């Protein structure tokens, strides 16, 4: 084989070897990158779930507190609506009971016509 | 290495080998045999196993007004080791809690690592203390039963003890329904005591207690308690009770007992004031029992309203002479007049015609001597001695309510039977309860027919006459027909004799008599008024009845 042909063959082999190395490198890099991205995604997801969990707890506590406040307000309303309190307040204002209340008979209007 | 002999090397090697084997064995032990124990300890450091308390149900009146509800209030605790200036903190807390600072400082300097300063604080005080942001102080929430109407209907409601169990009233009777079932929560927690979202979480949700809706009406209850308290204070009576019942189905609209107590402060309550005199205190009913005797007489046909006898002021029976009140002789007296004049001799006349067996049967049929089975705790049955233990004179005394005892609720049920046409109903206080499965309504329960409709109607007319024309005129209401009967009973002393000048005053009645909507029974123990002792009871009846009629918007059935 002439020297020129040998050099050409050698160059081709070198190029093929370089291409293989490059491919391997790129493949490995891609795999590492994918793994890294997956790891990041997993971490982000875990962090997101944990954060959401803490947020859910905070909201649960807030809900419970609002329910408690609601019950307290209902009790306060019941206290203010108490007939005994209203009677005492009416007495303080000088209001008195009517001795008799006139009741209008519930005669149907059609019966009168 | 030249200085180290081979034997020494072997020894060192052997030691290391043995040590390695021992350590390996230990590792194997912890990884196999004791693995569970290790895991348990590790879990114990992060796992939190807690009880999730069930919320006790709310109690409401028939219109939905809250009578009792449980709410979590903040309890203040201290970790004294973290408080630097204890006297200053004690002074600040004393001002905000409205307490002397001395006892607070004592707690802070007691040497305890953790101590409560005050439990279940009012919200305003808790907010003010929280705003101070003092180191070493903190809050935990604890449930507290609150009663927005203070001591109103205290006996009907009962109370909740410190351990969370219901006592007395509907709190006691419906304790299992009200308290619910606690849940559990097992979670992994981080160092900040927050549950880890991705960690273990095993939860069994609590089943909260059912909410009760009572038959009691807040407005009628308020009126009954106001009038009872006023009468007892005016009359300087020892105690008293009022029960208002719907005769159509036995629903209790009000049950008042005085003296009373605050259900949120039972620790300082007088035990005598905690007795429910409507259901747990039997009295000798006295002449109100004449209605039962008369019902038996009419129902068996031994008398009619116009049957008459010659009233000589007394009746002889079983070798004993039983006198009319004040020994008064009325002459010819009809059965209607027996009720109008409350003539003991007339009741004995009817009882003699009935005989012991039929009188005893009637008394039992009307529910005396047995519990009404009302749904509140602590009911008494009263005493009606078995017929075998009756002496001949007992036929006479029982006919006008002596020698037996009954609770005000039993009397109300008996009068309700007359009012509704002759059917005895089981009284009830809880109209419905609502839990996770939905609403459960209480069905009115007829116990038995105790008199024919005709007998009930006739007796109602006779009782109306007792109010219109008889001794019970103090119970008349302008514009309404009222059927009722007074009763005065002497009080037995421990030696078996009756106490002089002390008595129990009773009035039982229903209105409007033509279509009865309410039965009211008043019992006053040891009032000081005279006029056969019943004027105070009738005045109270009239006041409660007028309030009730106005509130219920019932139209008059007569001209005022």
Cβ A68–B146 below 8 Å, yes or no? Answer: no
Burial of A98 from C-beta contacts in 10 A (0-12 / 13-18 / 19+): exposed
Tell me how far apart the alpha carbons of residues B454 and B421 are, in angstroms, rounded to a whole number: 8
Partners of B148 on chain A (C-beta within 8 Å) are 75-76, 78-79, 82
Tell me how far apart the alpha carbons of residues B471 and B474 are, in angstroms, rounded to a whole number: 8
Partners of A106 on chain B (C-beta within 8 Å) are 555
Partners of B71 on chain A (C-beta within 8 Å) are 68, 71-72, 75
Cis amide prior to B119 (ω within 30 degrees)? no
Instruction: Provide the mean pLDDT of chain B.
Output: 91
When pLDDT is averaged across residues B307-327 and rounded to a whole number, the result is 90
The string of pLDDT tens digits covering residues B63-116 is 999 999 999 999 999 999 999 888 999 999 999 998 898 999 999 998 889 999
Tokens of A55: 């947020």
Mutate to test the interface with A, among B71, B74, B194, B198 (most CBs of A within 10 A): B71
pLDDT value of position A107? 67
A7: distance to nearest CA of chain B, Å?
60
B487: distance to nearest CA of chain A, Å?
28
Cβ B195–A105 below 8 Å, yes or no? Answer: no
- In order of B110, B252, B269, B346, B349, the CA distances from B244 in angstroms are 54, 6, 25, 29, 32
Cβ B222–A84 below 8 Å, yes or no? Answer: yes
Tokens of A67: 């329910």
A51: distance to nearest CA of chain B, Å?
8
Considering only alpha carbons, which residue of chain A is nearest residue B146?
A75
When pLDDT is averaged across residues B374-393 and rounded to a whole number, the result is 93
Between helix B101-108 and helix B86-97 the angle, nearest 10°, is 140
Tokens of B56: 């006790």
Q: What are the residues facing B143 on neighbouring strands?
A: B72
The string of pLDDT tens digits covering residues B124-158 is 999 999 999 889 999 999 999 999 999 999 999 99
Partners of B226 on chain A (C-beta within 8 Å) are 84, 87
Nearest CB among A50, A75, A106 relative to B197 is that of A50
Tokens of B84: 């630097």
Cβ atoms of residues B470 and B340 within 8 Å: yes
| Cα A47 to chain centroid, rounded | 15
- Give kind and range of the element (H or E) at residue A83: helix A83-92
Considering only alpha carbons, which residue of chain B is nearest residue A49?
B197
Cβ B194–A57 below 8 Å, yes or no? Answer: yes
Q: Residue B215 gets which letter from DSSP?
A: S
Partners of A57 on chain B (C-beta within 8 Å) are 194-195
Nearest CB among B152, B198, B553 relative to A50 is that of B198
Cβ atoms of residues B429 and B455 within 8 Å: no
Cβ A84–B226 below 8 Å, yes or no? Answer: yes
A20 CB neighbour count, 10 Å cutoff: 10
Burial of A10 from C-beta contacts in 10 A (0-12 / 13-18 / 19+): exposed
**DSSP letters spanning B145-190:** EE-TTTTTTHHHH-EE-TTS-EESHHHHHTHHHHH-B-EEEEEEB-
A79: distance to nearest CA of chain B, Å?
5
Partners of A108 on chain B (C-beta within 8 Å) are none
What's the helix, strand, coil split of chain B in %, to 5? 40, 25, 35
Between helix B392-399 and helix B290-300 the angle, nearest 10°, is 110
Tell me how far apart the alpha carbons of residues B474 and B542 are, in angstroms, rounded to a whole number: 8
φ and ψ at residue B318, rounded to 5 degrees = 60, 30
Judged against a pLDDT cut of 90, whether residue B431 lies above it is answered with yes
Judged against a pLDDT cut of 70, whether residue B18 lies above it is answered with yes
pLDDT value of position B486? 93
Cβ B123–A72 below 8 Å, yes or no? Answer: yes
Mutate to test the interface with B, among A45, A74, A84, A90 (most CBs of B within 10 A): A84
Mutate to test the interface with B, among A57, A73, A77, A78 (most CBs of B within 10 A): A78
**DSSP letters spanning B258-302:** ES---TT-GGGS-GGGGS-TTTS--B--GGGGHHHHHHHHHHHTS
Which residue numbers of A have CB closer than 8 Å to B's CBs? Answer: 46, 49-50, 52-54, 56-57, 68, 71-72, 74-76, 78-79, 81-84, 87, 100-101, 103, 105-106
ipTM: 0.80
Each of the 113 residues of chain A gets a pLDDT tens digit; together they read: 677 788 888 888 888 878 888 888 999 999 999 999 999 999 999 889 888 888 988 998 899 999 999 999 999 999 999 999 999 999 999 998 877 777 776 666 665 55
Partners of B63 on chain A (C-beta within 8 Å) are none
pLDDT value of position B502? 83
Cβ atoms of residues B490 and B503 within 8 Å: yes
Cβ B65–A87 below 8 Å, yes or no? Answer: no
- What share of chain B in percent tops pLDDT 70? 98
Torsion B318-B324-B327-B328 (CA) sign: negative
Cβ B197–A82 below 8 Å, yes or no? Answer: no
Tell me how far apart the alpha carbons of residues B350 and B359 are, in angstroms, rounded to a whole number: 9
Judged against a pLDDT cut of 80, whether residue B499 lies above it is answered with no
Tokens of B492: 């037995």
Tell me how far apart the alpha carbons of residues B509 and B519 are, in angstroms, rounded to a whole number: 6
Considering only alpha carbons, which residue of chain B is nearest residue A76?
B148
Between helix A83-92 and helix B218-235 the angle, nearest 10°, is 60
What are the residues whose beta carbons fall under 8 Å from the beta carbon of B552, sequence distance 6 or more? B517, B518
Cβ atoms of residues B51 and B87 within 8 Å: no
Helix (H, G, I), strand (E, B) or coil at A100: coil
Judged against a pLDDT cut of 80, whether residue B513 lies above it is answered with yes
Q: What are the residues facing B166 on neighbouring strands?
A: B160
Nearest CB among A52, A68, A78 relative to B148 is that of A78
Cβ A75–B560 below 8 Å, yes or no? Answer: no
Nearest CB among B69, B150, B556 relative to A103 is that of B556
Partners of A107 on chain B (C-beta within 8 Å) are none
A43 CB neighbour count, 10 Å cutoff: 10
pLDDT value of position B187? 83
The string of pLDDT tens digits covering residues B158-188 is 999 988 899 999 999 999 999 999 999 888 8
């Amino acid at each position: 084989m002439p020297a020129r042909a040998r050099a050409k063959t050698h160059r081709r082999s070198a190029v093929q070897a370089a291409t293989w190395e490059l491919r391997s490198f790129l493949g490995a890099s891609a795999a590492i990158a994918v793994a890294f991205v997956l790891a990041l995604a997993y971490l982000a997801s875990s962090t997101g779930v944990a954060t959401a969990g803490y947020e859910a707890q905070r909201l649960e506590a807030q809900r419970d507190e609002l329910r408690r406040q609601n019950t307290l307000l209902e009790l306060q309303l019941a206290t203010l609506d108490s007939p005994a309190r209203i009677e005492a307040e009416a007495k303080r204002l000088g209001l008195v009971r009517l001795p008799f209340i006139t009741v209008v008979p519930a005669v149907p209007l059609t019966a009168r016509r | 290495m030249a200085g180290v002999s081979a034997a020494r090397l072997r020894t060192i090697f052997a030691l290391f080998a043995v040590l390695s084997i021992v350590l390996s064995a230990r590792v194997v032990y912890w990884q196999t045999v004791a693995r569970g124990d290790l895991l348990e300890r590790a879990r114990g450091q992060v796992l939190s196993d807690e009880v999730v308390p069930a919320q006790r149900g709310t109690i409401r009146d028939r219109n939905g007004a809250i009578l009792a509800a449980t709410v979590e209030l903040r309890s203040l605790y201290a970790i004294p080791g973290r408080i630097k200036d204890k006297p200053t903190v004690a002074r600040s807390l004393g001002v905000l809690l409205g307490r002397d600072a001395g006892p607070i400082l004592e707690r802070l300097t007691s040497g305890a690592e953790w101590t409560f300063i005050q439990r279940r604080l009012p919200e305003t005080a808790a907010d003010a203390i929280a705003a101070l942001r003092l180191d070493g102080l903190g809050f935990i929430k604890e449930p507290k039963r609150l009663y927005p109407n203070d001591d109103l209907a205290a006996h009907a409601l009962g109370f909740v003890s410190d351990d969370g169990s219901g006592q007395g009233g509907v709190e006691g009777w419906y304790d299992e329904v009200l308290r619910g079932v606690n849940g559990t929560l097992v979670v992994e927690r981080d160092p900040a005591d927050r549950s880890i979202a991705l960690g273990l979480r095993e939860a069994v949700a609590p089943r909260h207690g059912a909410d009760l809706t009572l038959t009691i009406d807040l407005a009628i209850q308020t009126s009954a308690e106001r009038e009872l308290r006023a009468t007892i204070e005016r009359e300087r009576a020892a105690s008293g009770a009022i029960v208002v019942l719907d005769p159509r189905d036995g629903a209790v609209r009000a049950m008042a007992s005085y003296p009373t107590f605050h259900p949120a402060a039972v620790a300082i309550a007088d035990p005598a004031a905690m007795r429910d005199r409507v259901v747990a205190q039997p009295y000798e009913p006295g002449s109100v029992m004449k209605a039962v005797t008369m019902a038996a007489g009419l129902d068996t046909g031994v008398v009619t309203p116009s049957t008459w006898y010659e009233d000589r002021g007394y009746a002889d029976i079983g070798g004993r002479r039983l006198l009319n009140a004040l020994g008064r002789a009325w002459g010819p007296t009809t059965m209607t007049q027996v009720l109008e004049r409350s003539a003991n001799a007339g009741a004995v006349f009817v009882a003699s015609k009935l005989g012991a067996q039929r009188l005893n049967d009637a008394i039992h049929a009307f529910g005396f001597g047995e519990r009404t089975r009302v749904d509140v705790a602590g009911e008494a049955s009263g005493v009606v001695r078995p017929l075998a233990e009756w002496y001949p004179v007992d036929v006479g005394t029982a006919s006008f309510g002596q020698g037996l005892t009954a609770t005000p609720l039993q009397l109300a049920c008996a009068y309700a039977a007359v009012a509704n046409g002759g059917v005895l109903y089981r009284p009830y206080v809880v109209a419905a309860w609502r839990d996770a499965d939905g609403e459960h309504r209480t069905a009115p329960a007829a116990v038995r027919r105790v008199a024919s409709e005709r007998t009930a109607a006739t007796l109602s007319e006779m009782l109306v006459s007792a109010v219109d024309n008889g001794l019970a005129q103090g119970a008349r209401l302008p514009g309404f027909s009222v059927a009722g009967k007074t009763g005065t009973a002497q009080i037995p002393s421990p030696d078996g004799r009756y106490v002089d000048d002390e008595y129990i005053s009773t009035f039982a009645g229903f209105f409007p008599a033509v279509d009865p909507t309410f039965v009211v029974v008043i019992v006053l123990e040891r009032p000081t008024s005279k006029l056969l002792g019943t004027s105070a009871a009738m005045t109270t009846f009239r006041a409660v009845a007028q309030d009730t009629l106005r509130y219920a918007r019932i139209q008059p059935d007569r001209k005022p």
